Amino acid sequence: MNAASTRETSVAVGANPFSRWAVLALVLIGSALFLALLWMIGTGTGFGSTNDGQAHADGRGLNGYAAMADYLERRGHPVIRARNAGQLDQPGLLVLTPPAGADGEAIEKIVSKRRYAGPTLVILPKWMAFPSGSEQKDAKPGWVNLQGMQPLEWRGFLDDVTVVQGDVDANGKPAHWRGLGGEGTLPGGKYLQSGQGDALVPLVREQDGRTLAAFLDDGGSYPALEEEALGVMRSEPEDEDRYPLVLVFEPDLVDNWGMADRRSAQLVDSLLAASELEPEGRVTFDLTMNGFGRAQNLLTMAFTPPFLAATLCLLLAGLVLGWRAFLRFGPPLATERAIAFGKRALVANSAGLVLRSRRLHLIGAPYADRARDRLIQALALPRSLAPDQAEAAIDRALASRRVEAEPFSAIAARLRHARKSHDLVKAARDLHALERMLTR
């Protein structure tokens, strides 16, 4: 049997098995993943796709409005896809795309709440849409098949307005629209949706006169819309602070199917300009009524303004603390002695103890006695003298040298009776000066 030699490597006891860069990488990657998880939970990102083939701003089928939202973003408008009811009250244009089964009273509540915050655009649904089958080649997620119109009735919202669903012209030609400074042809299909009502002022009409888009004549003053209107307002403008409510009855004017025609894009620009939206004004597409609303919580608020600033400050503070900890990586340095060696350190420590105990007035008398003992020795006075006799002898020795000088006994008395730190220090300095004068 042959013995095989083995080579062993050992790690010193107490040595760190990881390098500082490996630890830094682990901390940074773990922190980034944790923050990403918090952000995903707070914003709802990554928890199911909103591209479900329905008529809303994230729908990419023929009946969706993703093309309109993308177009407005490219035109410089900040586009918000609102999934929280609190975002619907912000300034700017609000685009509502409720489904056919929406609650009309809920729509009315949203519209009424923001009449003085910004214009509102309501796009009515039209198509019954079904997901594309697997047998359809090259079908992408969110694509749909349109199979007729679905009935629409929103009780509680504009009950005096009627939605009319019918066929295109009997001559078989495509529907031709005109209004807002442009004209074009609706995409293929034999169905047309329009609106009727005394409070409607037409903005876009089909060639036979049916109203495809209009704004509400509700007593507000809308000069830009009146200039583009295809009809006249019946009420007198009374409220100049109210923003308009615009209704698009025929969604093929602005949905993905219609936006394939550049004339529909021009229609969207004209519609937003007439609705009193600024050139770079904010546009909010509502997703709450399409089933994508979520309740607001503390984690959601942490990643939305104005609380986002506080969150970023906390993250920055954590980054600074982590960097400081990283720079200290390794075994701690040996600490210094709490009380250093030497007379100077002993005096400093004693002085610090007296100062912390707030007993400064107790050191005046011992200091005066110690100064008297040193002068007795320096002047060669008998050590058997009583304290009073010794101080009298020191006063006589001082008077022989400088008559006008303050006696030792007076300075010592001041030092013994001093209670404030200022008086104590002044008396001690005077006594030290007197001592130097007598011993020089």
In a domain, 326, yes or no: no
Domain termination site, one of 263, 286, 309? 309
Widest CA span of the chain, in angstroms? 142
Domain containing 433: what range? 343-439
Clarify whether residues 106 and 217 are in a common domain.
yes
Quick check: is 32 in a domain? no
pLDDT of the residue at 271:
92
pLDDT score, position 331: 59
Q: Is residue 20 part of a domain?
A: no
Which pTM value belongs to this model? 0.60
Structural domains in the chain (count) = 2
Q: How far apart are CA 166 and CA 148, in angstroms?
A: 11
pLDDT tens for each residue of 381-408: 888 888 888 889 888 888 888 888 889 8
What does the alpha-carbon distance between residue 116 and residue 197 come to, in Å, rounded to a whole number?
A: 24
Residues 246 and 160 in one domain: yes
- Do both 188 and 292 map to the same domain? yes
Q: What is the pLDDT of residue 279?
A: 83
* Same structural domain, 301 and 155: yes
Shared-domain flag, residues 362 and 271 = no
> DSSP of 361-416, one letter per residue?
GGGHHHHHHHHHHHHHHHTT--TTS-HHHHHHHHHHHHHHH-TTSPPHHHHHHHHH
Per-residue pLDDT of the chain (440 residues; tens, 9 = 90+): 444 444 444 444 445 666 777 777 887 888 888 878 777 766 666 555 677 778 888 888 888 999 999 999 999 999 999 887 878 888 899 999 999 989 999 999 999 999 899 999 999 999 888 887 766 677 777 788 888 888 888 999 999 999 999 888 756 677 889 999 999 998 877 889 999 999 999 999 998 889 999 999 988 889 999 999 998 888 888 888 899 999 999 999 999 999 999 999 999 999 999 988 888 899 999 998 888 766 566 666 676 777 788 888 888 888 888 777 777 655 556 666 666 667 777 778 777 777 787 777 778 888 889 988 888 888 888 888 888 888 898 888 888 888 888 898 898 898 888 888 888 889 889 888 888 888 87
With respect to residue 318, please indicate whether it lies within any of the assigned structural domains: no
- Local structure of 55: helix, strand or coil: coil
Q: How far apart are CA 67 and CA 51, in angstroms?
A: 13
Whether residue 355 is contained in a domain is answered as: yes
Res 48: pLDDT:
59
Answer whether residue 6 is part of any domain.
Answer: no
Q: What is the pLDDT of residue 191?
A: 87
Q: How far apart are the first and last CA of the chain?
A: 97
Q: For residue 145, is it within any domain?
A: yes
Regarding whether 304 and 387 lie in a shared domain, the answer is no
Q: What is the pLDDT of residue 205?
A: 94
Half-sphere exposure of 404 (CA within 13 A, CB side): 0
Kindly state whether residues 239 and 296 are assigned to the same domain: yes
CA distance 173 to 185: 10
- Are 305 and 347 within one domain? no
Q: Are 255 and 394 members of one domain?
A: no
168 and 269 housed in the same domain: yes
Domain shared by 131 and 257, yes or no: yes
pLDDT at 329: 56
Q: What is the pLDDT of residue 362?
A: 79
